[in-house]
Amino acid sequence: MILTLARTTLVRHRTRTLLAMLGVAVSAAMLLDMVMLSSGMRASFRNLLLARGFQIRISPKGTLPFDTDATIPDASRIVRIVAADRDVEVISPVLGGQVHVVARGGEQTAIALGVQPEVQGDFELTAGQLPRRDDQAVASDDLLHATGLGLGDTVLAAAGWDPQLREFTGRRSITIVGKARFIYLPSGARALAIPLSTLQDMRGEAARDRASLFMIRARPGVDVEALRHRIERALPQVTVVSITSAMRQVDERLSYFRQLAVILGAVSLAVGFLLVTTLVTVSVNERLGEIVVMRAIGVARQRIVLQIVLEGSAIMIGGAILGLGLGLVTARYLNSILATFPGLPAAIDFFLFEPKDAWMALGLLMLAGILAGIYPSWRGASLPIATTLREEAVS
């Protein structure tokens, strides 16, 4: 009976009910987006760091990887020291820089990564093969498109340009043997991955036996933090960062985003709560005569309150379901805008959807709907029966 009465009341004022649901839907969409934003960036960054299973990074002292142009000397010695630890499964040195690529499509500047192909963790091969010789490389789609190159083509790559002699320096003929997606680079980046020794030779004495970064994968079941501390003690001249310590730094840098998301999410929840409270209050005031008649014929006060609370909850749930769909659409659009931020890895998502986010937003809205209906319904059901009937009759 209670459900039937609640449904009848909502249908009787269908226009008002529909407008209220649309208002709640907008609040629900904003709430979902803010919940996704507050946790999405952190989860997305963590997924990015673990994309190839490397849990520890070694970078130049005092910097994060590739925050500066600093490099680490004695790269081969560091590889030997770290690889000697029984808990280390793989260590992958990386040297970063820029190269000039000269092809039939003209000269292009590209990001160069010097890697050891058999243990690298910077790219995923999408076509062709890994470099097997010092004169082979894999390239990104954007570089191939810009230069008009294809798999099997040979290109001139140079590590620098001498403005006095007006010629390229550190030149090397490179054959493109593979096409790859570079995990940590921004969208649209023109990139070339070549063997580490080749890039070191091209850059000359300044890069001799140097690396910009080392990535380390621990053996399954190993205490990563304990391994990090051991490496830190063995190599005090570098910075050793694990996923856990990196996430602490990420949390510090993203704290403003998360605070903004919490504030806007709270505002959207409050707007939805006030909207439903106002609607329920208006509905109760219009039905005071009906409510006191039900009280007069013996309907319990709690049943009347429950009916009105169900009406508010139904509006919240209906609006929330619409809002979840709207929130996913707007999140995708906003993410496409933020993804164009310069220097941001293409794999980073600001709005990362996880089922628990939807359940959290839906749960908060349902709670708000219940709370929104309690006070006005209890107030209406608590009015004196005789006095209220007389006032309704006179009015």
Per-residue pLDDT tens digits for 281-324: 877 777 777 777 777 777 777 777 777 778 777 888 888 888 88
Pairing of strands 123-128, 167-182: antiparallel
**For residue 394, is pLDDT > 70?**
no
Helix axes 288-296, 255-286, angle to 10 degrees: 70
Q: Are 75 and 116 in contact (CB under 8 A)?
A: no
Domain boundary among 205, 236, 267: 236
**Same domain, residue pair 325 and 213:** no
Whether 337 is covered by a domain: the verdict is yes
**Same domain, residue pair 297 and 166:** no
Q: Are 215 and 119 in contact (CB under 8 A)?
A: no
| pLDDT of amino acid 355 | 78
Rounded Cα–Cα distance for residues 119 and 130 (Å):
11
**Same domain, residue pair 37 and 72:** no
Rounded Cα–Cα distance for residues 84 and 87 (Å):
9
Helix axes 255-286, 14-49, angle to 10 degrees: 160
Give the number of domains in the chain.
2
What's the pLDDT tens digit per position in 230-276? Answer: 999 999 999 998 888 877 777 777 777 778 778 888 888 888 888 87
| pLDDT of amino acid 67 | 61
**For residue 3, is pLDDT > 70?**
no
Domain boundary among 188, 204, 236: 236
**For residue 205, is pLDDT > 90?**
no
Parent domain of 68: 62-236
In this prediction, residue 6 has a pLDDT band, given cuts at 50, 70 and 90, of low
Q: What percentage of the chain carries pLDDT values higher than 70?
A: 89
Q: What mean pLDDT comes out for the span 68-77?
A: 84
| pLDDT of amino acid 68 | 62
Higher pLDDT, 314 or 83: 83
| pLDDT of amino acid 231 | 92
Q: E-assigned strands of the chain? A: 56-60, 88-103, 106-115, 123-128, 136-139, 154-162, 167-182, 191-195, 213-218, 238-242
**For residue 94, is pLDDT > 90?**
yes
**Same domain, residue pair 302 and 230:** no
| pLDDT of amino acid 103 | 77
Q: Is 311 exposed, middle or buried (0-12, 13-18, 19+ CB in 10 A)?
A: buried
**Same domain, residue pair 78 and 212:** yes
What's the pLDDT tens digit per position in 22-72? Answer: 888 888 888 888 878 777 777 777 777 777 889 999 988 876 666 667 888
Higher pLDDT, 380 or 92: 92
Of 25, 387, 388, 343, give the one whose Cα is nearest residue 186: 343
Q: Which two tokens stand for residue 278?
A: 């106002």
Domain boundary among 211, 236, 261: 236
Whether 242 is covered by a domain: the verdict is no
Q: E-assigned strands of 140-283? A: 154-162, 167-182, 191-195, 213-218, 238-242
Main-chain dihedrals φ then ψ at residue 52, nearest 5 degrees: -115, 10
| pLDDT of amino acid 390 | 66
Q: Which two tokens stand for residue 73?
A: 């000397």
Whether 243 is covered by a domain: the verdict is no
Q: What mean pLDDT comes out for the span 350-379?
A: 77
pTM summary value: 0.71
Whether 34 is covered by a domain: the verdict is yes
Write the CA distances from 55 to 52, 134, 328, integer angstroms.
9, 28, 31
Cα 310 from chain centroid (whole Å): 36
Whether 39 is covered by a domain: the verdict is yes
Find the angle CA(23)-CA(26)-CA(27) to the nearest 5 degrees. Answer: 90
**Same domain, residue pair 231 and 312:** no
Of 54, 83, 380, give the one whose Cα is nearest residue 217: 54
In this prediction, residue 216 has a pLDDT band, given cuts at 50, 70 and 90, of very high
**Same domain, residue pair 84 and 201:** yes
What's the pLDDT tens digit per position in 170-193? Answer: 888 999 999 999 988 887 788 999
